[in-house]
Amino acid sequence: MIRDPIRTLVFRLTAVTLALLLILSLLASWLALHQFERVLFPELRLKAQGVAEVLTRQIDRALGYGVPLAELPGLSAALATEVAAHPDIVYIGVETPDHRILAAQGQRPAMPRRSAVAAPDDLEILAPLTGQHGLEAWLRLSLDPDWVAKASTDLILEVASVILISVLVAFEVLLLVAHLSLGRVRATGTPRAYRPGSGSPFNLVFLRLPVFLFCLSEEVTRPFIPTHAQALAPTAPWLPHDLAVSLPITLFMLIWALSQPLGARLSGRIGRRRAFILAALLSALGLTLTALTDHLLAFMAWRCLTALGYGLALITAQGMVVDHTKGHNRASGMALFIGALLAAGVCGPVAGGIITDEAGATTTLLVGAVLALMAAATLGLLLPKGERHGPPGTPAWHRDLSPAIVKLARNQRFTALMAFSAIPAKVAATGILFCLIPLLLTESGADKAEIGRVQMLYFLFFIIASPLAANLSDRWQIRRGFIVGGGLATLAALIPLALVDQAWGPYLAIALFGAAQALISAPQLSLVTQIATRVRVAEITAIGWYRLLERLGGALGPLVVIGLAASGSYHEAALGIGLVCAGSALLFWLLYRRASPALHALETHP
Amino acid sequence: MTVLSRRRWLQWGTATGASLLAAGVRANPAPPRRFRIFMVLGRGEGTNEQGFKDYLARRGLEIDYIVRDTGGDASLLPGIIQEIKELRPDLVYTWGTPQTRAVVGPWDDPEPGPYVRDLPVLFTYVAAPRDAKIVPNLERPGGNVTGTIHIAPVAAQVNAILAYRPIRRLAAVFNPAERNSLLMIEEMRRECARRDLELIEAPAPLTDGKPDPLDIPHLIARCRELGGEMLYLGPDTFFTTTHRHQVAAVALAERLPSFSATELIVRTDRALFALSSSPYGIGRLTGVKAVQILLEGQSPGEIPVETLRRFSVLINMATAKELSCYPPLSLLNLAEVVGV
Chain A interface, mutation test: which of B313, B315, B329, most A Cβ atoms within 10 Å?
B329
Whether B186 and B69 map to the same domain: the answer is no
| Structure confidence at residue A528 (pLDDT) | 87
Query: Residues B188-205: pLDDT tens digits?
Result: 999 999 999 999 999 999
Q: Can you list the domains of chain A with their CATH numbers?
A: 4-150 (3.30.450), 204-394 (1.20.1250.20), 400-606 (1.20.1250.20)
Q: Which of A66, A68, A78 sits opposite B329 (nearest CB)?
A: A78
Contact B326 A75 (CB under 8 A): no
CA-to-CA dists, residue A509 to A58, A158, A448, A489, B254, angstroms: 49, 19, 18, 11, 71
What long-range pairs does A458-461 form, CB within 8 A, spacing at least 24?
A: A458/A345, A458/A433, A458/A510, A458/A511, A458/A513, A458/A514, A458/A517, A459/A342, A459/A345, A459/A346, A459/A514, A460/A164, A460/A346, A460/A511, A460/A514, A461/A510, A461/A511, A461/A512, A461/A513, A461/A514, A461/A515, A461/A518
Locate the DSSP E strands across A67-218.
Answer: 89-95, 101-106, 124-131, 134-143
- Per-residue pLDDT band for B10 (boundaries 50, 70, 90) equals very low
Whether B181 and B259 map to the same domain: the answer is yes
Chain A interface, mutation test: which of B165, B322, B332, most A Cβ atoms within 10 Å?
B332
Give the B window 310-329 contacts with A, CB below 8 Å: 317, 320-321, 324, 326-329
Whether B178 and B194 map to the same domain: the answer is yes
Chain B interface, mutation test: which of A55, A57, A67, A102, most B Cβ atoms within 10 Å?
A67
Q: Which of A58, A59, A67 sits opposite B326 (nearest CB)?
A: A67
Q: Is A73 on the interface with B (CB under 8 A)?
A: yes
What are residue B202's DSSP bridge partners?
A: B173
- A428 within 8 A of A577, measured Cβ to Cβ: yes
Identify all chain A residues contacting B333, using CB atoms and an 8 Å cutoff.
58, 61
The ranges of chain A with pLDDT < 50 are 1-2, 112, 189-200, 388-395, 597-598, 601-606
Query: Does B161 score more than 70 pLDDT?
Result: yes
Q: Which H/E stretch holds residue B314?
A: strand B312-316
ipTM of the complex in this document: 0.72
DSSP B148: B
Q: Is A85 on the interface with B (CB under 8 A)?
A: no
Q: Is A445 on the interface with B (CB under 8 A)?
A: no
Identify all chain A residues contacting B327, using CB atoms and an 8 Å cutoff.
73
Q: Which of B328, B333, B337 sits opposite A65 (nearest CB)?
A: B337
In a domain, residue B19? The reply is: no
In a domain, residue B267? The reply is: yes
What mean pLDDT comes out for the span B154-176?
Answer: 94
Whether B302 and B316 map to the same domain: the answer is no
Mean residue pLDDT of chain A comes to 83
Q: Which H/E stretch holds residue A1?
A: none
Per cent of chain B over pLDDT 90 is 66
Q: Give me the CATH number covering residue B207.
A: 3.40.50.2300
Q: Which amino acid is at A498?
A: A
Whether B175 and B90 map to the same domain: the answer is no
Q: Nearest C-alpha of chain A: how many angstroms from B327?
A: 7
| Structure confidence at residue B11 (pLDDT) | 41
Q: Which of B324, B329, B340 sits opposite A75 (nearest CB)?
A: B329
Q: With CA atoms as reference, report the closest residue to B143 among B306, B305, B307.
A: B305
In a domain, residue B288? The reply is: yes
In a domain, residue B15? The reply is: no
Identify all chain A residues contacting B329, using CB atoms and an 8 Å cutoff.
58-59, 62, 72-75, 77-78
Whether B112 and B219 map to the same domain: the answer is no
Query: Residues B256-279: pLDDT tens digits?
Result: 999 999 888 999 999 999 998 888
Q: How many residue contacts between A and B have a Cβ separation below 8 Å?
A: 40
Query: Residues B66-98: pLDDT tens digits?
Result: 999 998 888 999 999 999 999 999 999 999 988
Query: Residues B221-250: pLDDT tens digits?
Result: 999 999 999 999 998 889 998 899 999 999
In a domain, residue B27? The reply is: no
Identify all chain A residues contacting B324, using CB atoms and an 8 Å cutoff.
71
Contact B332 A59 (CB under 8 A): no
Query: Does the model's pTM come out above 0.90?
Result: no
Q: Which of A66, A68, A72 sits opposite B329 (nearest CB)?
A: A72
In a domain, residue B221? The reply is: yes
Q: Which of A61, A71, A77 sits opposite B326 (nearest CB)?
A: A71
Q: Nearest C-alpha of chain B: how many angstroms from A341?
A: 57
In a domain, residue B187? The reply is: yes
Cα–Cα distance, A342 to A219 (Å, whole number): 10
Whether B73 and B106 map to the same domain: the answer is yes
Contact B326 A62 (CB under 8 A): yes
Measured distance between the N- and C-terminal CA atoms of chain B, rounded to whole angstroms: 69
Instruction: Count structural domains, chain B.
Output: 2
- Specify the 3-state DSSP secondary structure of B44: coil
Query: Residues A192-251: pLDDT tens digits?
Result: 434 444 444 567 778 888 999 999 999 999 999 998 998 898 888 888 888 888 899 999
In a domain, residue B3? The reply is: no
Query: Residues B272-298: pLDDT tens digits?
Result: 999 988 889 999 999 999 999 999 999
Q: Provide the domain limits for residue B237.
A: 154-276+312-338
Cα–Cα distance, A19 to A25 (Å, whole number): 10
- B159 within 8 A of B273, measured Cβ to Cβ: no
CA A249, A253, A258 angle in degrees (round to 5)? 150
Whether B108 and B173 map to the same domain: the answer is no
Q: Nearest C-alpha of chain B: how many angstroms from A59?
A: 7
| Structure confidence at residue A412 (pLDDT) | 83
